[in-house]
Structure 1
Amino acid sequence: MTDTPLFAPLPAAAGVGYKPQHFQSILTDAGAVRWLEIHAENYMGDGGRPLAQLRHLAERFAISVHGVGLSIGGEAPLDAEHLARLKTLVGWLNPASFSEHLAWSTHDSHFYNDLLPLPYTDATLRHICDHIDQVQDTLGRQMLLENPSSYLAFAESTWEEPAFLQEIARRTGCGLLLDVNNVFVSATNLGLRPQDYIDAYPLDLVGEIHLGGHDEDSDDFGAPLLIDSHGAEIADPVWALLDYTLARSGPKPTLVEWDTDVPDWPVLEAEAARAARALAQLRQAV
């Protein structure tokens, strides 16, 4: 197990994925938003307006760095140059949290825009743990690992996903990022009950909760097929699953992601306000 220090915690409050078009609106009136997430790959340059704006925001908000390009589950070794740039970003920004995905997105020299799921086997487990150890040793920090959206199940899997994530955390010392929308998407696509997933999940290891929108479709047999798009308002069943989760986990930093067809700031802030109300109601019930 890698002995890595924990990040200073994010507030157990509502956050949003930061988009540059919202910069001035956030400074003028952040509303319910108490923290921001950035995608690491957008801030690995040497300067310019993006880094200047980020430095300004970091003076007022806790920042979470979310990676989408490490390909933790890929067969190839981690990209050393990518990891070095990530270390530079994390070094000067000193974010409250860093996270990546239980997924792969590279093969040979090709990079795919999708974050693709993996078979849950002992061999996969060892491979991912090696990669996480490398990331945490390089950054000198704990990382959080996010559960993926799944569209099919692998016949060779010998682990259930919650147990697989718990074992990764036990071996590496990493924390977990629980994406509630991903749980709902995967459960719907695989014919499972999302509440059963939450009941089996090691909620004590969760450092962040994510929410996002999804698109509805159907497969070749007419069964519901959900696509994790991050391009719409959060569906009511996902809000209900958040309430179910928080009732078992207690208050957690809760983020609204909206990455495509990004709306004007008032629409995004309203989603964050709904997350803030869920957290407030939970505290009132205690």
Structure 2
Amino acid sequence: MSTSPNLDPRTVASFGDEWHRFDQQGMAPGEAERVFGDYFAIFPWEQLPPNAEGFDMGCGSGRWARFVAPRVGRLHCIDPSSALAVARQTLANQSNVQFHQASVAASGLPPNSQDFGYSLGVLHHVPDTAAAIRSCAELLKPGAPLLLYLYYAFDNRPRWFRLLWHLSNAARLLIRRLPPRPKQLVTDLIALTIYWPLSRLASLAEAAALPVASFPLSYYRHCSFYTLRTDARDRFGTPLEQRFSRAQIRQMCSAAGLVDLRFSTRAPYWCVVGVKAKGAGAE
């Protein structure tokens, strides 16, 4: 296991601030379940053993752990930020959850000990994403699944779509430097003036039986304004962000000893699940 912390202190502090502001209690249960279903659509629940033990790497507010914990024997929620206090509140009624304020490279869990793991929207925010995937895979028993969600490099989008992202990223590089309160005000304004109109335009187009897959922000067409605010803060306020093509993600996962890789064919992109190769990491 690497001794490098593999974290960016500014990004850790930013997420601590974000999850204290958005503890996800304002997210409607039905909406949360739908988004959870999008992330976990390819997860092989049926392959887990009885009373499975696993981890949520970068659990944040615990918004996904609250759906996973009732399905398993033990869940380790791991996060290096102050958001772990929010996760403790979110999961206060889940007696099978253990909390670890730790980084992906030094989680404290033994190698080859976990029946499953997942990390959603986290590992593209660390300095070395490939090493982070290896750190997660090292914790798994051979044959155990790992579910990841990594920001995509728009490799399945047209050129004009990628150009729009470059423009938005130029704004992010400025907004990420703001102090917490001004940053929140600016990202709320983005949610109101950009996320809301474009997502509702996609909703109207869908109602008119028009294809909306290529609409910017069409994924948010059924999401609440609370979610728009959360994700605008996440997208524009985070200091460190990396994006990867499907081919790059496949290469990193394979290098970490994951096999039988399967990518989700629906948004959000890219969600991928793989299993630790038999014999990989065994003593």
Relative to the length of structure 1, the TM-score reads 0.31
Structure ranking higher on relative contact order (CA contacts 8 Å, 6+ apart): 2
TM-score of the pair, normalised by structure 2: 0.32
